[in-house]
Amino acid sequence: MTIEPIAWDGDRLRLLDQTLLPVEEAWLELTNHNEVVEAINSMRVRGAPAIGVAGAYGIALAALSSAGSDLDALLTDLRSAADQLIATRPTGVNLAWAVERTLAAAQAAGGLEEARQVALNEALRIQREDIDGNKALGQHGLELVPERATVLTHCNAGALATAGYGTALGVVRAAVEAGKQIDVVATETRPLSQGARLTSWELLRDGIACRLIVDSAAGPLLQRGDADLVVVGADRIAANGDTANKIGTYTIAVLAREHGVPFYVAAPTSTIDMSLPSGDGIAIEERSADEVTKVGGKRIAREDVQVFNPAFDVTPHDLIAAIITERGIARPPFVDALQDLTR
């Protein structure tokens, strides 16, 4: 079975520690929201939808472990936990969406015990919806994938980045399940190597052909006509279709346009942020210089070098051929199409 990296186990959250893959498959057991905050900050769980699901469980854990003696006290604790969770990673919108949704469910409860139960039920529902949504998204994406195709993808928008099945890799999985001849080219994805460590791991585990390239090989690959389509995930999509995704996505989109290869984004509608008219308003997370100056914990650059390390970039909507969601495919003009899908 395709890996599902998040599991609720009675009174605790189990997370597959993605920082240790592919060398070690170790599961964490988290019993309070502070541990969830740590897991998101250190990218033990990563990928916008997976972070959202973990955040929802963070609220459920806060509800279960709160010492609040009445509903008001519990809700005060939950608001504070929500703020801490949402502050961990600013670019992906799924986190705030899932945390606020779980909190709102607790706020609508009539009493303390009901609020605890309702928060947990909501987190379970968000997790289930994510997997079901990815499978639906994969089915919608089928029409964009030829019978024989090489798919170029970036970062990891797979089962590991979601509750299961994946978004970009959900499209790949659906195509393979439909009997299409698919092989995937995964970019390494510096600096944290999600492509090398995670995408190739989960695809090979499921028996899906995968070749790994360094990020800078995407140009010659597309130039030689060695990829038929590009499919990537998203962390936040503005109302006009501008899409924030892992740093390096924009470069691939420009290369795809240059070489006439269609560039698709696959994401659940929870990744669409209709409050932002364009990608200009998307906050881009900057991460530690160590991620650039070290590889696998080993220093490769002088300690005193200046570093610029944005974790994401924004691909302008005019480079995107279609956005594949669980509710259907949005095509340009995205302003209208995304409005319809999120109504």
Name the residues that contact ligand MRU, by CB under 6 A: 46-49, 92, 155, 157, 161-162, 167, 194, 233-235, 245-246, 311
**Residue with Cβ nearer ligand MRU (66 or 134):** 134
Residue for token pair 């309070």: 32
- Give the residue from 47, 257, 285, 253 showing the smallest Cα distance to 169: 47
Name which of 173 and 246 has its Cβ closer to ligand MRU.
246
CB contact at 8 A, 341 and 328: yes
Residue nearest to ligand MRU (CB): 233
| Residue among 77, 235, 242, 273 flagged as catalytic | 235
Q: Is residue 292 classed exposed, middle or buried when 0-12, 13-18 and 19+ CB atoms within 10 A define those classes? A: middle
* 132 a catalytic residue: no
Least distance between ligand MRU and beta carbon 156 (Å): 6
Cα–Cα distance between 239 and 228 in angstroms, integer?
27
Give the C-alpha separation, 294 to 210, whole Å. 26
| Nearest to ligand MRU of 116, 236 (CB atom) | 236
C-beta closer to ligand MRU: residue 61 or 160: 160
Distance CA 169, CA 310 (A): 24
Q: Least distance from C-beta 46 to ligand MRU, angstroms?
A: 3
**Calpha distance 86→331 (Å, rounded):** 30
C-beta of residue 235 within 8 angstroms of C-beta of residue 161: no
Q: How far is the CB of 285 from ligand MRU (least distance, A)?
A: 8
Shortest CB 264 distance to ligand MRU, Å? 13
Catalytic residues: 235
